[in-house]
Amino acid sequence: MGNKRSSIKGKGADIYLGDDNQAQQASRPMKPIDGVRRKATFYIPPALLDRLDDAWLDLRRLDRSVKKSSLVTAALEAALTDYVAKQEKSLFYQTIIGTGSSKEG
């Protein structure tokens, strides 16, 4: 008589789907640079967004877990690392500040 059923209150679909720890282990989380991710909104030209989509689809053919956020993170990390190392000689600087740029903001 001392056996008490565990409460299902607050467990939602977990009571039907099983242990949520198994689901979390099955999916690979994105590897953020500092361990934390934050949502940000940026405006990107449509042609560049199309190129991002093309690259994402190509990489997803190799690994279905690839996320667009991972691509953007990797691209920004590479561009900013190059900028810190080369400053005015970096492609990042030349694209934004270099002669003949449109200086969009």
| Angle, alpha carbons 43-46-49 (nearest 5°) | 80
CB-CB contact of 37 with 69 (8 Å): yes
Q: Where are the domains of the chain?
A: 30-96
> What predicted TM-score, i.e. pTM, was given to this entire model?
0.59
Phi and psi at residue 52, in whole multiples of 5°? -60, -45
Question: What digits encode the pLDDT tens for the residues 57-105?
Answer: 999 999 999 999 999 999 999 999 999 999 999 999 999 998 644 544 4
Please identify which residue in the block is written with the tokens 């467990």: 11
Handedness of CA 53, 44, 97, 32 (dihedral sign): negative
